[in-house]
Amino acid sequence: MWTKGNWFEGNWERDSMISGRYFDAFANSTYVGTFEQNKKHGSGEETWRSQANIPFRDLTFGWSHAVDGVCKYDGDYHGGYFDGQGRFEVPDGRYYDGVWRLGKPHGTGTMHLLRKIEYRDASRMNIGKFGSLYRPNKFSGEWRNGKRHGQGKLFFLDGSSKEVVYNYGTIIVQKNDEVTSN
């Protein structure tokens, strides 16, 4: 146990953590997996909880969460970061499942965009006025440095979908072979 409340139980080799369970008191997170040079490395699972019963925002996407929720990442790490294939999910049903690099989505992946509470609520299914169901439920496609970038597909609550192209988080709309930013 360290003076700030962090602790580790598991396998050591030459004063370095190799595999086991690590608790980070500042982040209120628990990591179970492997280490290299005392950093999360290889395969592992990490969970975060609210501290002092205060709603919180995760550091990965900045999504807000209720006090009783647990955020979870299950996948590959490199040098302490999410790196490789992995899934980050939050208690309200949103998630990103895909490739990561240096702690951010990078490569191909799928992000579920809506919270469970937003399903079957007509007022939350639309952007703008009632009558149009075009709020996306999910995006599946290419990512670069934490932003949607490249080819992908948006899926909507009414069951429809649309092929899209993103440029660092901004959707590119194609009309009659003319490309404009939206």
Query: For every one of its 182 residues, what pLDDT tens digit does the chain have, with 9 covering 90 and above?
Result: 787 899 999 999 999 999 999 999 988 899 999 999 999 999 999 998 877 777 777 778 888 777 777 899 999 999 999 999 999 998 888 999 999 999 999 999 999 988 877 766 655 555 555 545 567 889 999 999 999 999 999 988 777 888 999 999 998 865 443 444 44
Contacts of 131 (CB under 8 A, 6+ apart): none
Residue 15: partners with Cβ closer than 8 Å, 6 or more residues away? none
Question: In degrees rounded to 5, what are phi and psi of residue 122?
Answer: -55, -30
Least Cα distance to 80 among 44, 114, 113, 131 occurs for: 44
CA distance 67 to 137: 24
Read off the tokens for 161.
Answer: 């979908």
- Could you tell me the pTM of the whole model? 0.84
